């Protein structure tokens, strides 16, 4: 899939804007995500922390779960923005792999500058996917 620089920046800007709504009182590490599906719809997400730490949720998964809850399961690209251009966690990588190893990932910093661009397959080599469950 080919993205224009304008498309990249638009998704990064949406993810960065979403970060304003992150609920991160414990880590003080707001994360925003913007997911574009193959139908062209965009879903945003933010990290949502909780005093019982394991019950929080990452921005990437929030965006993906919002899309899936609306019937979307085919994704093109997801932009993830953190203050320092941090990479998605292992749990988010696994959820991304569930919906396609060819999904493009844009990782940007809080200034909206693209730091890395790769596919889910590149971010999670040897991913466990639904095909592994086939008989």
Cβ 32 vs Cβ 16: under 8 Å? yes
Question: What is the predicted pLDDT for the residue at 94?
Answer: 97
Prediction pTM value: 0.95
Average confidence (pLDDT) over 107-128: 97
Q: Is 101 exposed, middle or buried (0-12, 13-18, 19+ CB in 10 A)?
A: middle
Which residues carry out catalysis?
Answer: 60
Polymer length of the chain:
135
Cβ 97 vs Cβ 128: under 8 Å? yes
Sign of CA dihedral 64, 96, 36, 18: positive
Per-residue pLDDT band for 134 (boundaries 50, 70, 90) equals: confident
Question: What is the predicted pLDDT for the residue at 1?
Answer: 75
Could you give all domains of the chain from N- to C-terminal order, each with its CATH number?
5-133 (3.40.140.10)
Question: pLDDT tens digits for 12-67?
Answer: 999 999 999 999 999 999 999 999 999 999 999 999 999 999 999 999 999 999 99
pLDDT at 81 over 80: yes
Cβ 66 vs Cβ 33: under 8 Å? no
């Amino acid at each position: 899939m080919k993205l224009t620089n304008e498309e990249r920046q638009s998704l990064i800007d949406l993810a960065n804007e979403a970060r304003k709504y992150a609920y991160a009182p414990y880590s003080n590490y707001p994360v925003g995500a913007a997911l574009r599906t193959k139908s062209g719809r965009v879903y945003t997400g933010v990290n949502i922390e909780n005093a019982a730490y394991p019950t929080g949720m990452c921005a990437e998964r929030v965006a993906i779960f919002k899309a899936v809850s609306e019937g979307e399961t085919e994704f093109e690209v997801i932009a993830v923005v953190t203050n320092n251009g941090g990479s998605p966690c292992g749990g988010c990588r696994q959820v991304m792999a569930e919906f396609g190893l060819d999904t493009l990932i844009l990782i940007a910093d809080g200034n909206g500058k693209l730091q890395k661009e790769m596919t889910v397959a590149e971010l999670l080599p040897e991913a466990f996917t639904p095909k592994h469950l086939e008989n």
